[in-house]
Chain A
Amino acid sequence: MLRIDCPWCGVRNEDEFSYGGDATVERPTDYASQDDWYHYVYTRQNPAGPHREYWHHVNGCRAWLVVERDTVTHEIFSTAPASPNLPDPDGRTR
């Protein structure tokens, strides 16, 4: 059972979240090449080890999070909001 530390909601079970995939892929600019768009949508590093990835607290506060997690041990190293513009999580309940 993954336990994900949502910056707003505290540590919650994985079934409150929905996985959003590799967070290291960057959406190309609107003027980027077809090749860049192909890689953005389709290819992944898919590492065995530390992995930056998105999680959506879909059955919670609905924030998208960036989680650093090991894909072999499943250990989570950090959790942070994906957006810089969401309300400050300070004062969260734990």
Chain B
Amino acid sequence: MGQQFRTSSSGQIDRGRILSFTFDGKPYQGYEGDTLASALLANGVRLVGRSFKYHRPRGIQTAGSEEPNAIVELRTGPRKEPNTRATTIELFDGLVANSQNRWPSLSFDIMSINNLFSPLLSAGFYYKTFMWPPSFWTNVYEHVIRRAAGLGKASTEPDPDFYEQCHEHCDVLVVGAGPAGLSAALAAARAEARVILVDEHPRLGGSLNDENYSINGKAGSEWVDEIHAQLEEMDNVRVFTRTTLFGYYDHNVVAAIEKVSDHMPVPHQGHPRQRMWTFYPGRVVIATGATERPLVFGNNDMPGVMLASAARAYVNRYGVKPGRRAVIATNNNDAYRTAIDLHHAGINITAVVDSRIQPDAALVEELESLSIRLLTGSTVGSAEGHQQVSYVQIVTTQGDTLDPERIDCDLVACSGGWNPNVHLHSQSGAKPVYDDSILSFVPGKSRQSEVSVGAANGSFSLQDCLAQGVSAGTQAARQTGFKSRKMAVARADNEGDYAIEALWISPTPYNKNYKQFVDQQNDVKASDVVLASQEGFDSVELLKRYTTQGMATDQGKTSNVNALALLACQRGEPLPEVGITTFRPPYVPVAMGVFAGHTVGYDFMPVRRTAIHDWNTKQGAVFIEAGLWLRARYYPQQPGDTMNDCYIRETEATRNNVAIVDVTSLGKIDIQGPDAAEFLNRLYINNWLKLPVGKVRYGAMLREDGMVFDDGTTSRLEENHFFMTTTTANAASVLAHMEQYHQIEWPELDVVFCSVTEQWTGIAVAGPNSRKLLEQVIDIDISNEAFPFMSVGECMMNNIPARLFRISFSGELAYEINVPADYGEQAWLELLEADEELEVSVYGTEALGTMRIEKGHVAGSELDGRTTAQDLGLEGMANRAKHFIGKHNSERPLLVGEGRLQVVGLKSLEPERNLRIGAHLVDPSVKLETVSQSQGHVTATTYSPQLGCGIALGLLRDGASRHGEQIEAVFPLDDETLKVEVCHPVFIDPEGELVRA
């Protein structure tokens, strides 16, 4: 064994570095510089995959990222990558690859029986059958189809590698480092523009690596090395290899993927597998070259059939003979170079078959001099063989198909012409246009700051590529503000015309039915295009969608233009009338990890922690998420403590003694200025102008559509200085809302404000002994007379500057103390330790919730964006004589009439059973006209230690007038029903005596 298909000397491989790899478990060897595809060909492996639908044997068709057939599962375990193109995998030592979509083996695949039934499996066949019985689709037909479809198998384990995202600015971005791109980069760089040059290959040079060109009298690769060296010396140039520009987005922003580590078994320690680059160029020079298209003939998908350019690339770049006896089929001059290069590499060229009647005389002469047989006006009608080509049948293009000549060969190198790679141009928003001289699409009018050059611009002559590159690079530098310098254009030593003549499909031998593939990966045949057209799917978009042409992992790179041409033939219209579909990013498939970058897992969204967090953690607190915040939910005291045990204990400790809770997560906004009171007066539904200094007020604000937006307390610290609190959930949106109105609607108000949520730690001190506790640590008089309910004052808490608010969410005598965040934990500890006799304890959000429900305070679950002030029982606060945000729309007829969901209290009528959040409220004595009998739902529930039963808040239709009714809370998800009594939402201390004590 061992690389029997190597040439004697050619190629850019390092024959001194032998690499071992396996394919389908069998060991092989290749060289440094090989791709998996070239190494397989070197070892005589021709069959590498099975097709999508018919499971036909497939080989290696191209030498680049356009490969439709040679796709494999690369690597194993959690690093497995299905559908990887063998033609783009750089060989490394220890590489493991396996064929896919076959069973039990690649050479014997049971599903290839589909090939026999192909007339049944024509385009769109699945739309016409599998309809009966209806239940069979999901459970039987689809089940089978899904398992037959798909390609490779994904790993189900987490990816062990990581990905990075980087940004870079430049004046000129050059995409593609072939002759045009290198020239452009050098020209722009010499003008001192900041230049970025990207190329998807490990080595610069583009097509110059694949061809036997010479420039300025030197081998093309030598010229490439020279230019590369010059670029490397300039500090205004960055060169990215193994980097594919995949997306052209708005405002001239483009994105690329750099394959940092894919050419090694595993990434180096600390290195990403791949990196996403977002580039911000002043101007983009697109020098992405062109892609050859195959000829459409019978069995053109067979292993051994290859693009003519790919055959050259394997010989010239990789030192591999893709076959021993080759037929070259073409409709243009370009493929003659394949014949010549392959001949010089020692491959027997059994014939060049040219569909044109009169090929280029010089080329004819050259073939003659090499004794290569030339057949003109002919083409390959079919390839024949078992799992690989063993001979072809030649037909004349005039339609003489009854006497095909048989020519033995193991390689058919074919060229149907070249398509400029207009993908990025199209992604940028521009429309490619058809160019009849090359029978393909070329860039149209630019929509963003980009220009295409060289083969990407439809210019296939090397000299044109070099010249256009220099010119575009020079101009791009000038357009981005640099003084251009004249630069000589390199001289291409060998030139020739392209001279293509249309041959979109070959006649078949004996006019027999052959499978002539257009889209090889998706198994779309020429007959499918005909059928789609016949059935009315005769626009490019419908054709694509009906036949799936161009939708495979190769994105139709080799099939699009052929399909359009065949459709044009069907419609009897010129090709440009048929049009072209839009190219969408990414240009090549890109791993999801690249787009995700590092913002996954814990970095997907930040976690916000309060100053008390560490202490809470040490106490074994159980946390709950509140937006991004982590808040202590309850504090287990001993093993086996349930949440209920804890919150009941914490509630009782608060109601009977004193306890503290961390309320830092509430939004806090500092508001200052002569018009601060007026500003608040417009934001809130209630009055603010006459709030005295040193007082706190509860306020509610609406959205402009009249629904309640947020609530909280705001304090007047000084005449022109207020301090607002918001709900945890709305902290950011309230600030943005205030900025919007201040900057856009009321710029005349002299007020400034900013968020101070992070600057203050908030601790609520609640319970009948709260004053007693605070008196130990606070330096101001907080007696009921000096500091009544709804007071605010600045003070010192021991040695900590603090603000004290006499407000209560629990319904108890309570305070809230704010200290600078850095003192948060210290203040917390000092409160706990201030009075040993008092046995100050802590409570979490669960107990906080219990007490707020008992007190009937509305919160986030009632302020759900669909409730009005009236619905929430807050309408009494509103001053409708003044103007405030949302006033007008809150007065719309259906928002103030009957039938609204309004806040109520609910009591469980069944002992030992609590209400559940999300239960719906149903009145069995009433039959509604709607299907759903729901009259509302439960928003917040708890067991009330105070009342000794389960209580809840809820939103109930016309609830404010239904206190005393007995209805049901139903939870059909769990088949539960609970009898409840509707009551006033304030369960305890309705007069508010406790808070004023």
Once A64-B739, A73-B447 are accepted as A-B contacts, the answer to whether A83 and B249 lie under 8 Å apart by CB is no
Q: A77-89 CB contact bits vs B (8 Å, 1 = yes)?
A: 0000111111000
Cβ of A3: which chain B residues have Cβ within 8 Å of it? 251, 253, 280
Number of residue pairs spanning A and B whose beta carbons lie under 8 angstroms apart: 55
Specify which of A1, A41, A74, A86 is in contact with B889 (CB 8 Å cutoff): A41
Assess whether B403 is interfacial by the CB under 8 Å rule.
no
Let me know if B736 and A1 touch, CB within 8 A.
no
Q: Does B250 contact A (CB under 8 A)?
A: yes
Q: Are B888 and A74 within 8 A (Cβ)?
A: no
Residue of B nearest to A30 (CB): B883
- Measured between alpha carbons, how far is A76 from B747 in the docked complex, in Å? 25
Chain B, Cβ-Cβ closest to A64: B743
Residue in contact with B736 in the complex, picked from A18, A73, A85, CB distance below 8 Å? A18
| B740 interface residue per 8 A CB criterion | yes
Verify if B278 is at the interface (C-beta below 8 Å from A): yes
| Interface residues in A, total, Cβ within 8 A | 29
Known: A34-B891, A41-B889, A74-B251. A27 touches B447 (CB 8 A): no
Within 8 A of A (CB), among B699-742: 704-705, 736, 739-740, 742
A8 within 8 A of B: no
Report whether B704 and A20 are in contact in the complex, using a CB–CB cutoff of 8 Å: no
Size class of the contact patch on chain B:
20 to 34
Q: Contact mask A38-82 → B, CB, 8 Å, 1/0? A: 101100000000000010101000111000000001101000011
Within 8 A of B (CB), among A16-36: 18, 20, 27-28, 30, 32, 34
A69 to B749 CA separation, bound complex (whole angstroms):
29
Cβ-defined contact, A2 with B743, below 8 A: no
- Whether B278 lies near A37 (C-beta < 8 A) is no
Please report the C-alpha to C-alpha distance between residue A18 and residue B739 in the assembled complex, in whole angstroms: 13
Residues of A within 8 A of B740 (CB): 20, 54, 56, 64
Q: Verify A58–B744 contact, CB threshold 8 A.
A: no
Residue of B nearest to A83 (CB): B743
Check if A34 sits within 8 Å of B892, measured CB to CB: yes
Bound complex: CA A63 to CA B280 (Å): 24
- Give B528-578 interface residues, CB cut-off 8 Å to A: none
Q: Collect the chain A residues with CB atoms within 8 Å of residue B249's CB.
A: 1
The answer on a CB contact under 8 Å between A83 and B278 is: no
A85 to B744, CA, bound (A): 10
Shortest beta-carbon distance from B834 to chain A in Å: 40
Q: How far is the CB of B230 from chain A (nearest CB, A)?
A: 32
Residue of A nearest to B888 (CB): A37
Q: Is the interface of A mostly helix, strand, loop or mixed?
A: loop
Selected from A27, A37, A74, A76, the residue in CB contact (under 8 A) with B745 is A27
Does B429 sit at the interface, judged by CB under 8 A?
Answer: yes
- From residue A81, how far is it (CB to closest CB) to chain B in Å? 8
CA distance A56 to B739 in the complex (A): 9
Residues of A within 8 A of B278 (CB): 1
CB distance from B414 to the nearest CB of A (A): 41
Once the chains are docked, how many angstroms separate the CA of A37 from the CA of B891? 11
Q: Is the CB of A84 within 8 A of B747?
A: yes
CB-nearest residue of chain A relative to B740? A64
Bound complex: CA of A73 vs CA of B251, how far in Å? 9
Q: Are B429 and A1 in contact (CB under 8 A)?
A: no
Which residue of A has the minimal Cβ distance to B732? A58
A83 touches B251 (CB 8 A): no
Q: Is the interface of B mostly helix, strand, loop or mixed?
A: mixed
- Known A-B contacts A64-B744, A85-B747; the reply to A34 vs B739 at CB < 8 A is no
CB distance from B256 to the nearest CB of A (A): 14
* Beta-carbon contact of A63 and B251 below 8 Å: no
Nearest B residue to A37 by beta-carbon distance? B888
| A82 contacts B743, C-beta separation under 8 Å | yes
Closest to B755 in A: A62
Q: What separation, in Å, do the CA atoms of A83 and B752 have in the docked complex?
A: 13
**In the complex, A76 Cα to B448 Cα: how many Å?**
13
Q: How far is the CA of A40 from the CA of B251 in the complex (A)?
A: 31
Complex alpha-carbon distance, A63 and B736, angstroms? 10
Chain A residues with Cβ under 8 A from B739's Cβ? 56, 62, 64
Closest chain B residue to A38, Cβ basis: B889
How many Å lie between the Cα of A37 and that of B748 in the bound state?
22
The answer to whether B705 and A41 have CB atoms under 8 Å apart is: yes
The CA of A56 and the CA of B92, in the complex, are separated in Å by 50
Within 8 Å CB of B704, what residues of A?
A: 40-41
Which residues from B are CB-within-8-Å of A37? 888-889
A1 touches B253 (CB 8 A): yes
Asked if residues A2 and B888 are in contact (CB atoms below 8 Å), the reply is no
Contact of B250 among A74, A82, A84, A85 (CB under 8 A): A74
- Shortest CB distance A8–B (Å): 12
Contacts of A84 in B (CB 8 A): 747
- Complex: A38 Cα to B890 Cα, angstroms: 11
Which residues of B (264-316) have their CB < 8 Å from a CB of A?
Answer: 278, 280
Residue of B at shortest CB range from A65? B743
User: Nearest CB to that of B249 among chain A residues?
Assistant: A1
Query: Which among B740, B743, B745 has the highest number of chain A CB atoms within 10 Å?
Result: B743
B745 surroundings in chain A (CB, below 8 A): 27
| Nearest residue, chain B, Cβ from A66 | B744
Contacts of B251 in A (CB 8 A): 1-3, 74, 76
B785-814 interface code vs A (CB 8 A; 1 in, 0 out)? 000000000000000000000000000000
How far, in angstroms, from A60 to B784 measured CA to CA in the complex? Answer: 45
Q: Which residues of B contact A56 (CB under 8 A)?
A: 736, 739-740
**Contact bitstring A1-17, B, C-beta under 8 A = 1, else 0:** 11100000000000000
- With a cutoff of 8 Å between Cβ atoms, the chain B residues found around residue A41 in the complex are 704-705, 889
Contact of B888 among A1, A34, A81 (CB under 8 A): A34
**For residue A40, which residue of chain B has the nearest CB?**
B704
Determine the chain B residues whose CB is within 8 A of the CB of A20 once the complex forms.
Answer: 740
User: Contacts of B705 on A, CB cut-off 8 Å?
Assistant: 41
Cα distance A84–B736 in the bound complex, in angstroms: 18
Q: What distance in Å separates the Cβ of A82 from its nearest Cβ neighbour in chain B?
A: 5
**B888, A63: Cβ atoms under 8 Å?**
no
Q: In the complex, how many angstroms separate the beta carbon of B667 from the nearest chain A beta carbon?
A: 15
Least CB separation from B893: chain A residue: A34
Q: Are A58 and B736 in contact (CB under 8 A)?
A: yes
Bound Cα distance A40, B742 (Å): 18
CA distance A84 to B747 in the complex (A): 7
Specify which of B280, B744, B747 is in contact with A54 (CB 8 Å cutoff): B744
A86: B residues at CB distance < 8 A? 743
Min CB distance, A64 to chain B, in Å?
4
Contacts of A83 in B (CB 8 A): 742-744, 747
User: How far is B741's CA from A56's CA once the two chains are assembled, in angstroms?
Assistant: 12
Closest Cβ of chain B to A78, distance in Å, is 15
- Residues of B contacting A38 in the complex (Cβ-Cβ under 8 angstroms): 889
| Closest residue on chain B to residue A62 by CB atoms | B739
Closest to A72 in B: B429
Give bound CA distance, A2 to B251, whole Å: 6
Which residue of B is nearest A27, CB measured?
B745
Which residues from chain A contact B892 at a C-beta distance below 8 Å? Answer: 34
List B contacts of A81 (CB < 8 A).
743
Residues of A within 8 A of B888 (CB): 28, 32, 34, 37
Task: Tell me the nearest residue of chain B to A1, going by C-beta.
Answer: B253
Contacting A at CB under 8 A, from B234-271, are 249-251, 253
In the complex, A40→B886 CA distance in Å? 11
Min C-beta distance of B704 to chain A, whole Å = 5
Q: Among the interface residues B883, B889, B891, which one has the most CB atoms of the partner chain A within 10 A?
A: B889
Q: How far is the CA of A3 from the CA of B744 in the complex (A)?
A: 22
Q: List residues of chain A with CB within 8 A of the CB of B743.
A: 63-64, 81-83, 85-86
Q: Which residues of chain B are within 8 angstroms of A54 by Cβ–Cβ distance?
A: 740, 744
Distance between Cα atoms of A30 and B279 in the complex (Å): 48
- 7 nearest interchain CB pairs? A83-B743, A1-B253, A37-B888, A30-B883, A3-B251, A64-B743, A85-B747
What are 13 A-B contacts with C-beta separation under 8 Å? A1-B253, A2-B250, A3-B253, A34-B892, A37-B889, A41-B704, A41-B705, A54-B744, A63-B743, A64-B739, A74-B251, A81-B743, A82-B744
| Given A1-B253, A56-B739: 6 more A-B contacts, CB < 8 Å | A1-B278, A30-B883, A62-B739, A64-B744, A73-B447, A85-B743
